[in-house]
Structure formats: C-alpha cells, structure tokens
C-alpha cells in the first residue's frame, strides 16, 4: 500500500480554519487547535443566533401592531382574532408595516376586524 503524505490537504484545511478565526483574541487566531475550537463555538452561536433573530423580529412586529391597535381602541388579541374570523390572511410582518407606514389602511383593517367580531358575537348569541 502506498504511503500517503497529507501536505497540501492538511495545510488547506488548517488555513481555512485559521482564516475564519482571524480577529479572534490571542492564540485563538494563531494556533490551529485553539482556533478550531473557537470557530466551532462561533458557528454554534451563529446557528442559534439566526433562530433568535426571527424570534426577535416577530416580537417587534407584535409590539408595533399592538401599539397601533391600542390607538384604534382594540387589543392586539382581539384584532388578530377578528382578522382571522374575517378571513384576512395578512401575516404579522405585513400588519406591522401597515401600522407604521399606512395608518388609514390599518384603521380600515381594524374596522373589518371589529365588524367580524360583532358578527361572530351575534351569531353565538343566536345559537344559545
């Protein structure tokens, strides 16, 4: 069996890790083993950070929708419930954009939600 010398493959792999670790503190950017541990740890945080980013944006949209809903004298939960009952399929990102940039359009949506809630309440009252 022929002898395998890993010169270029090993160098390339290590160079890739050390390039990713450039800017890290002290030996984490210079020595391969420390750099490898730091890069793996950083990649782990980057993965979870991408998930947290989505979570934070959704909570920001909810805060914006709630503020605009309160200005139109309806709670956030009632607004979302009314929109679902009215069959309006706008996601929270779009609702937040409307709340910030198009106040009259958001007010019209609030009116739609209130009407759907009232209709649902009268329908429930008739059932009893």
Comparing 62 with 2, which gets the higher pLDDT? Answer: 62
Tokens for 61, please give them: 């949209």
Tokens for 127, please give them: 């059932």
Residue of 32, 50, 95, 44 whose CA lies nearest to 68: 95
pLDDT in tens, 40-71: 999 999 999 999 999 999 999 999 999 999 99
| Chain Cα centroid distance, residue 112 | 27
Residue 121, CA atoms < 13 Å, CB-side half-sphere: 9
| Chain Cα centroid distance, residue 42 | 20
In sequence order, what DSSP letters do the residues of 65-116 get, joined into one string? Answer: HHHHHHHTT--HHHHHHHHHHHT----HHHHHHHHHH-HHHHHHHHHHHHHH
Tokens for 88, please give them: 């309006």
- pTM, whole model, 2 decimals? 0.80
Residue 25 gets the label, from left (phi > 0), alpha (psi -120 to 50) or beta, of beta
The fold of 11-127 is c-terminal domain of poly(a) binding protein (1.10.1900)
pLDDT in tens, 67-90: 999 999 999 999 999 999 999 999
């Amino acid at each position: 069996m022929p002898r395998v010398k890993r010169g270029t493959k090993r160098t390339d792999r290590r160079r890739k890790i050390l390039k990713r670790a450039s800017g890290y503190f002290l030996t984490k950017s210079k020595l391969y083993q420390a750099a490898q541990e730091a890069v793996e740890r950083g990649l782990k945080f980057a993965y979870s950070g991408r998930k947290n980013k989505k979570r934070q944006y959704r909570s920001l949209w909810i805060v914006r929708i709630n503020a605009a809903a309160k200005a139109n004298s309806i709670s956030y939960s009632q607004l979302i419930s009314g929109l679902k009952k009215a069959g309006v399929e706008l996601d929270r990102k779009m609702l937040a954009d409307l709340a910030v940039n198009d106040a009259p359009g958001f007010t019209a949506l609030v009116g739609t939600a209130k009407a759907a809630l009232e209709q649902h309440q009268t329908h429930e009252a008739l059932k009893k």
